[in-house]
């Protein structure tokens, strides 16, 4: 039996603090907690709306069904909220972190991230999670401090900390193994803050817990992993790229080992897939795109999410009675659950991410992003208003390059294509 906690009361004034203190709202305004206000600010942010036109796995214009960054973020937020509630944590914080987790993605997703990392070494590199923090605390302006500097959306310390998936700077980051869930090889290192943003990072991490992630960030990260592992398979089935009743196990296991679990043997992966297939909703006949077939696929998706989250909830409760607030406890992910999710991600990777047509597309996308940065470095007069102001205020070449990277990262897939056509002359073949 686990103790029952009123999680909202477990957050103190330090957790609720904002970079710039805010006076109480009007008495006639709707009464909301500090963390509910954070969620509202995120949902109304322009950077959040732009996610609707950014690549998830397939480009947003490729199909009416497949997920884009916005729909993915909404699904991650739902998983995070439900898991947080089940753990008797505060759902508003985990949900806001999940809604924000992909804000820093540039056009073309992880592939665009790779291109920006390659061209921005002189200003400290590029990392989508560090860019998310930069958006939340600087670029998406709502509040200014007493020195007339933007502090972004001015979210609470607890919410910003929950949005920090990699709570360390690049100097101490380690190179991650394998690939992103969406396909590209993970290059460089994963980190959560640029050197230019250390001031606000150090503030939000007070009192410093080292490199440990708060439990709300752990919930957000797991929800993202669950959504990737399940929804990419669903998209692949509907897109006629994956047929779950006719899997080439040897080919898929090779992909699982090269992308996610290098030490896993065939026996383990066979047993894991067999266990997943014992679920009542696992398909017994090929997907036929009928209403009944679509309903069955939705039930499978729901059952898999419930399976993974239920296993994590049980393991977490077995390890601690909580409260599951900030640094008072940790999420526990059973090894079996990790392997099951890796098997699903391997299925999607083999049949979708490794497709020949997609590999050539990724190369063209990286060329386009690189072209844009190169051109705007030479022609900063073409930057949009806020970025033009930042460029004029920059003190050196590295700072000016960071502004150009901020501009390109802000673009959607469609606007990146349009900018390239207008400024550079257009790609030989459209990477969309």
pLDDT at 24: 74
Q: Which domains does the chain have, with CATH numbers?
A: 7-210+366-423 (1.10.3210.10), 215-357 (no CATH)
Of 413, 429, 343, which is closest to residue 107 (Cα–Cα)?
413
Residue 55, φ and ψ in degrees, nearest 5: -60, 140
How many C-alpha atoms does 208 have within 13 Å on its Cβ side?
A: 7
pLDDT at site 27: 60
Burial class (CB in 10 A: 0-12, 13-18, 19+), 74: middle
Helix, strand, coil percentages, rounded to 5, for the chain: 60, 0, 40
| 3-state secondary structure (DSSP) of residue 185 | strand
| Local structure of 144: helix, strand or coil | strand
pLDDT at 187: 54
**Rg over CA atoms, the chain:** 22
Element (H, E) at 257: helix 249-259
Whole-structure pTM value:
0.91
For residue 112, the tally of other CB atoms under 10 A from its CB is 29
- pLDDT tens string, the chain, 432 residues long: the values are 343 345 668 899 999 999 999 987 766 566 789 999 999 999 999 999 999 987 655 444 444 445 688 999 999 999 999 999 999 999 999 999 999 999 999 999 888 999 999 999 999 999 999 999 999 999 999 999 999 999 999 999 999 999 999 999 998 887 665 555 545 455 568 999 999 999 999 999 987 778 899 999 999 999 999 998 999 999 999 999 999 999 999 999 999 999 999 999 999 999 999 999 999 999 999 999 999 999 999 999 999 999 999 999 999 999 999 899 999 999 999 999 999 999 999 999 999 877 656 677 788 899 999 999 999 999 999 999 999 999 999 999 999 999 999 999 999 999 999 999 999 885 444 555
Q: Measured between alpha carbons, how far is residue 148 from residues 142, 143, 151, 295 in Å?
A: 12, 9, 9, 54
């Amino acid at each position: 039996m686990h103790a029952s906690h009123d999680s909202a009361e477990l957050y103190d004034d330090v957790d609720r603090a904002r970079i710039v203190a805010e006076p109480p709202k009007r008495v006639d305004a709707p009464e909301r907690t500090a963390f509910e206000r954070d969620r509202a600010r995120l949902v109304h942010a322009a950077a959040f709306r732009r996610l609707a036109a950014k690549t998830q796995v397939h480009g947003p214009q490729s199909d009416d069904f497949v997920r884009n960054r916005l729909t993915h973020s909404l699904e991650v937020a739902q998983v995070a909220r439900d898991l947080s509630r089940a753990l008797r944590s505060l759902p508003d914080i985990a949900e806001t972190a999940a809604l924000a987790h992909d804000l820093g993605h540039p056009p073309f997703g992880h592939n665009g991230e790779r291109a920006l990392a390659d061209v921005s070494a002189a200003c400290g590199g590029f990392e989508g999670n560090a860019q998310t923090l930069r958006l939340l605390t600087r670029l998406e302006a709502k509040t200014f401090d007493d020195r007339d500097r933007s502090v972004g959306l001015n979210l609470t310390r607890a919410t910003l900390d929950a949005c920090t998936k990699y709570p360390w700077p690049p100097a101490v980051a380690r190179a991650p193994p394998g690939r992103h869930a969406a396909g590209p090889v993970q290059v460089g290192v994963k980190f959560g803050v640029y050197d230019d943003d250390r001031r606000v990072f150090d503030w939000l991490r007070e009192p410093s817990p080292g490199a440990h992630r708060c439990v709300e960030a752990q919930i957000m990260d797991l929800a993202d992993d669950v959504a990737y592992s399940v929804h990419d398979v669903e998209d692949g089935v509907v897109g006629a790229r994956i047929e779950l009743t006719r899997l080439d196990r040897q080919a898929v296991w090779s992909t699982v080992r090269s992308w996610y679990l290098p030490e896993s043997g065939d026996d383990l992966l066979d047993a894991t897939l067999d266990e997943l297939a014992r679920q009542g909703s696992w398909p017994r006949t090929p997907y036929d795109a009928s209403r009944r077939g679509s309903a069955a696929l939705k039930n499978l998706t729901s059952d898999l999410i419930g399976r993974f989250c239920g296993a994590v909830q049980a393991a977490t409760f077995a390890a601690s009675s909580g409260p599951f607030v900030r640094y008072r406890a940790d999420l526990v992910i059973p090894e079996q659950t990790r392997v099951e999710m890796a098997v699903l991600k391997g299925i999607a990777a083999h049949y979708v991410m490794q497709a020949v047509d997609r590999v050539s597309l990724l190369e063209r996308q990286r060329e386009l992003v690189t072209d844009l940065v190169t051109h705007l470095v030479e022609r900063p007069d073409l930057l949009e208003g806020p970025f033009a102001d930042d460029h004029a205020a920059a003190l050196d070449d590295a700072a000016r390059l960071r502004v150009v990277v901020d501009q390109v990262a802000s673009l959607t897939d469609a606007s990146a294509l349009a900018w390239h056509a207008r400024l550079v002359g257009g790609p030989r073949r459209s990477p969309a």
